[in-house]
Amino acid sequence: MPDAKSPWTPPEFGALPQMAAQSLPQMLQAMTGLGFAGSGLLQLQQDYLRDAAALWNEATHAADQEPPKAPADRRFAAADWAGHPSSAFLAGMYLLNARTLLAMTDEVQADEKTRQRLRFAVQQWIDAASPSNYLALNPEAQRKAIETKGQSIAQGMQHLLHDLRQGHMSQTDESLFEVGRNVATTEGSVVFENELFQLIEYKPLTAKVHARPLLIVPPCINKFYILDLQPQNSLVRHALEQGQRVFLLSWVNADESIEHKTWNDYIEDAAIRAIDEVRAISKQETINTLGFCIGGTILATALAVQAARGERPAQSMTLLTAFLDFSDTGVLDLFVDEQMVALREMSLGQGGLLKGQELASTFSFLRSNDLVWNYVVGNYLKGETPPPFDLLYWNSDSTNLPGPMYCWYLRNTYLENNLVEPGKVKVCGQPVDLGAIDVPTFMYASREDHIVPWKSAYLNTKVLSNKLSFVLGASGHIAGVINPPGAKKRSHWTNAKLPATADDWFKGATEHPGSWWPAWDKWLAAQAGPLVAAPKTAGDRNHKPIEPAPGRYVKQRA
């Protein structure tokens, strides 16, 4: 080993990093068949050799100085990685290779979408190749195996077999949760149902309620109880506490009996039907409406269809992290092109089911280190049982969709963005013009949302026209929405003006600490009419309670 004070020279360094610097571009080019821009690639190779040399010197001089520090990555944060020079070097070289490969994708000579797809594919390969994912290379898992005399490995195998039997990876201890027992527990009754949905009316929590009720349309690609997880983080319960009379559409988990249902069916026989039933029960000409994610797209489409029929059943609309304009769908755009959509239409367009687990896996791999490999290491290599977490239990409770409905949605939104062009498509026999939805609208987006990027959600302000409010919250697609005031977490931004671009809106916005829910409460109260005595029973003589909330539809497993 050279003297710790002597400078590094190439002969001491060895040939391996030089070979890697030359072979990484060749490997990537062989995988993709794409060429590189020359000058940028040369700089990347020089940077790679410099950084690899630093890692080599740190590893080979470890005996003469302090042990190397663990890389700044939570996968290698345990002391076991820094405690072994070879493990620290392995982790450091892995991270260097990862950075270099990702930087190389920016030098590929291709159009932007191809580069983005390549970057996503390379990222997936990088995440899977982490030394932390393999028992033979993970010193932390090895130490635990020794300390437990092999019990951690045996327990990990049991977890793996359990997950293989249940058909998905456990992200939490699912045995600790049950829908209706400790999630989705807000009291209410199912007051209407058909083959697509159940309508839940929740029991008021105040002596008086606003006369005009609120109908919530949750996403059909997930279970509704993301909005009613626990009492302390339930948006449903919060609305009830504010004196709102709350109804909610609970989607069926599609099976073969409805595998031919279309987008038209979901609009006419679900969204519009739910609106009509709530109006009938509440005896109100107009109601307030809320749509979350694809539920917002469904709700807006339904209101546009009704507007084309000369009907105005909504007093207001709230959209939570929802697309109307699909011109920039962020990372999900990587998966959608004509070939992919045509293939889906061939396999599912005339009938069949899009399996919920397929959608769940896709969304998990958008954040594969957090939602996939983290559990491979914890569950299988270390034999740990994941801690209880209601949101991750919900995340694993996937739902199926009818193939024809999904295919129409895929082509007319993500691929062709037809809904945003007035009259471009017909739904339920009516030309769709979202601009004809002439109601006050509250729009919420999350700043770190990778499903509905906030700047894309801001485009909704150009689609709609009447009395628009736009609020931006911190965090992501789910955590940003489910942010109760009592938690005193995060912050949100408001700006009464709606300039042409999202960036200009943000420049003029004011940041407020805490939840955005109180801002919505104030806005919704102004749309909800006078306070009246709360109903003593659910439904009416034409809508007798069928069963207690949350109903049996939400309990159906995919």
Q: Does one domain contain both 121 and 205?
A: no
Q: Cα-atom radius of gyration of the chain, to the nearest Å? A: 27
Q: Which residues are catalytic?
A: 293
Separation of CA 194 from chain center: 28
Q: Please give the pLDDT value at position 31.
A: 55
Same structural domain, 127 and 193 = no
Mean pLDDT computed over 132-143: 96
240 and 340 belong to one structural domain: yes
312 and 424 part of one domain:
yes
362 within domain boundaries: no
Answer yes or no: do 195 and 324 share one domain.
Answer: yes
Confidence check: pLDDT of 179 > 70:
yes
CA distance 253 to 255: 7
Q: Where are the beta strands (DSSP E) in 301-382?
A: 314-320, 353-354
Residue 484 in any domain: the answer is yes
* 388-408 residue pLDDT tens: 999 999 988 989 999 999 999
The conformation of residue 74, written as its DSSP 8-state character, comes to G
> Same structural domain for residues 128 and 216?
no
- Residue 320, pLDDT > 90, answer yes
Strands (E), 342-466: 353-354, 401-402, 426-427, 430-431, 441-446
Q: So what's the pLDDT on residue 117?
A: 87
The whole-number pLDDT of residue 58 equals 77
Last residue of a domain, one of 134, 152, 176: 134
Element (H, E) at 471: strand 468-473
- The answer to whether residue 387 is domain-embedded is no
Among the residue ranges 22-26, 41-45, 476-480, the one predicted with the least confidence is 22-26
Among candidates 189, 195, 210, 190, which has minimal Cα distance to 255?
A: 195
DSSP 8-state code for residue 88: H
CA distance 424 to 421: 5
Report which of 99, 44, 106 is spatially closest to residue 72, judged by C-alpha positions. 99
Structure-token match 């916005």, residue found: 509
Sign of the Cα pseudo-torsion (322, 369, 144, 161, in order): positive
Residue 181 lies in a domain: no
Alpha helices in 69-150 (DSSP H): 79-83, 85-105, 112-128, 139-147
Nearest Cα residue to 413 out of 302, 299, 336, 351: 336
Q: What is the pLDDT of residues 300-318, one digit of tens each?
A: 999 999 999 999 999 999 9
Total Cβ atoms within 10 A of residue 51: 17
With respect to residue 312, please indicate whether it lies within any of the assigned structural domains. yes
Q: How confident is the model at residue 334 (pLDDT cuts 50, 70, 90)?
A: confident
Q: What is the pLDDT of residues 417-452, one digit of tens each?
A: 999 999 999 999 999 999 999 999 999 999 999 999
173 in Cβ contact with 248 (< 8 Å): no
Q: What is the mean pLDDT of residues 471-493?
A: 95
Do 95 and 196 lie in a common domain? no
Share of the chain above pLDDT 90, in %: 75
User: Is 1 part of any domain?
Assistant: no
Return the structure tokens found at 215.
Answer: 């109908």
Give the chain's domain count: 2
3-17, 264-278, 340-354: range with lowest mean pLDDT:
3-17
β-strand 314-320 against 441-446: which pairing, if any? parallel
**φ and ψ of 229, to 5 deg:** -75, -70
CATH of the domain at 541: 3.40.50.1820
Model pLDDT for residues 235-288, shown as the tens digit of each residue: 999 999 999 999 999 999 999 999 999 999 999 999 999 999 999 999 999 999
Residue 17 has pLDDT above 80, yes or no: no
Residue 482 has what pLDDT?
96
3-state secondary structure 438-453: CCCEEEEEECCCCCCC
3-state SS class at 160: helix
Domain shared by 298 and 412, yes or no: yes
- Helices 139-147, 151-166: crossing angle, 10 deg rounding: 110
Q: Mapped to the 3 state alphabet, what secondary structure does 360-377 carry? A: HHHHHHCCHHHHHHHHHH
CB-count exposure of residue 499 (10 Å: 0-12, 13-18, 19+): middle
319 Cβ contact partners less than 8 Å away, ≥ 6 residues apart: 290, 291, 296, 299, 300, 441, 442, 443, 444, 457, 460
**Are the C-beta atoms of residues 282 and 255 closer than 8 Å to each other?**
no
pLDDT digits (tens, 9 = 90+) for 53-63: 888 887 776 55
Start-to-end C-alpha separation, the chain = 59
Cα separation, 375 vs 169, in Å, equals: 8
The rounded distance, in Å, linking the Cα atoms of 97 and 103 is 10
Domain boundary among 134, 150, 179: 134
Q: Is residue 29 part of a domain?
A: yes
pLDDT tens by residue, 536-552: 999 999 999 999 999 99
* 382 within a domain of the structure (yes/no): no
Q: Are residues 405 and 542 in the same domain?
A: yes
pLDDT above 70 (res 4): no
Q: Are residues 129 and 192 in the same domain?
A: no
Cα four-point dihedral sign 291, 218, 258, 411? positive
Residues 341 and 439 placed together within one structural domain of the fold: yes
pTM to 2 decimal places: 0.89
161 burial level (CB within 10 Å; 0-12, 13-18, 19+): exposed
Give kind and range of the element (H or E) at residue 210: strand 208-210
The verdict on 127 and 203 lying in the same domain is no
From 99, 119, 134, give the residue that closes a domain: 134
Output the pLDDT for position 33.
60
Q: What is the pLDDT of residues 144-172, one digit of tens each?
A: 999 999 999 999 999 999 999 988 899 99
Rounded mean pLDDT, 8-13? 40
Query: Which range among 10-14, 133-137, 179-183 shows the weakest confidence by mean pLDDT?
Result: 10-14
| Containing structural domain, residue 92 | 10-134
